[in-house]
């Protein structure tokens, strides 16, 4: 059986985890964009000019009806915008390396379906809890979810090293 097909249950778990984490990252970024549009608080001046034009094209001119012509950019952005941006940056630092390590782990260590599902599932669950706890400021869940993800990553690294050394 080839290691990199969905006939391999561990790889199938990896593929599912990759898809779910990818959707989560996209959803987090779309949340930031949506909040910026709703609050008329764009990160850069060129976005402030472009977005109404694009949204009017998409909505048939309805975006201009929803906003006042003289409406100035919101000087106080929603507190969610920087928190979601920070969560997105955190994901960008954690998820790709975990997925790369996990793929290597599946190839070299050949974990069982049960082990792969538990480790990958723990990481995926931890990332969802982490972004929720980050945005809502709930401790100790943020730290606990971070440590859970770190533990899953450590387990994968240990499995790789054990298999190759």
33 domain-assigned: no
135 domain-assigned: yes
Q: Does pLDDT of 17 surpass 90?
A: yes
Q: What is the pTM of this model?
A: 0.83
Q: What is the pLDDT of residues 96-138, one digit of tens each?
A: 999 999 999 999 999 999 999 999 999 999 999 999 999 999 8
| Integer Cα distance of 16 and 11 in angstroms | 9
Q: Which residues of 52-89 are buried (b: 16+ CB within 10 A; e: fewer)?
A: beebeeeeeeebeeeeeeeeeeeeebeeebebbbebbe
Q: What is the pLDDT of residue 124?
A: 98
Q: What is the pLDDT of residue 54?
A: 72
Domain count, the chain: 1
Domain range for 147 is 9-24+79-164
133 domain-assigned: yes
């Amino acid at each position: 059986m080839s290691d990199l097909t969905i006939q391999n249950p561990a790889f199938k778990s990896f593929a599912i985890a990759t898809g779910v984490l990818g959707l989560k990252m996209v959803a987090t970024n779309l949340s930031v964009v949506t909040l910026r549009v709703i609050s008329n608080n764009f990160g850069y001046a060129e976005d402030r000019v472009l977005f109404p034009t694009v949204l009017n094209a998409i909505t048939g001119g309805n975006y201009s009806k929803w906003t006042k012509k003289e409406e100035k950019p919101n000087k106080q952005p929603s507190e969610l915008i920087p928190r979601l941006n920070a969560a997105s940056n955190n994901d960008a630092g954690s998820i790709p390396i975990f997925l790369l390590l996990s793929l290597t782990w599946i190839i070299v260590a050949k974990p069982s379906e049960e082990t792969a599902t538990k480790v990958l599932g723990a990481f995926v669950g931890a990332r969802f809890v982490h972004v929720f706890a980050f945005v809502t400021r709930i401790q100790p869940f943020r730290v606990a979810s971070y440590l859970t993800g770190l533990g899953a990553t450590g387990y994968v690294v240990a499995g790789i090293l054990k298999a190759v050394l």
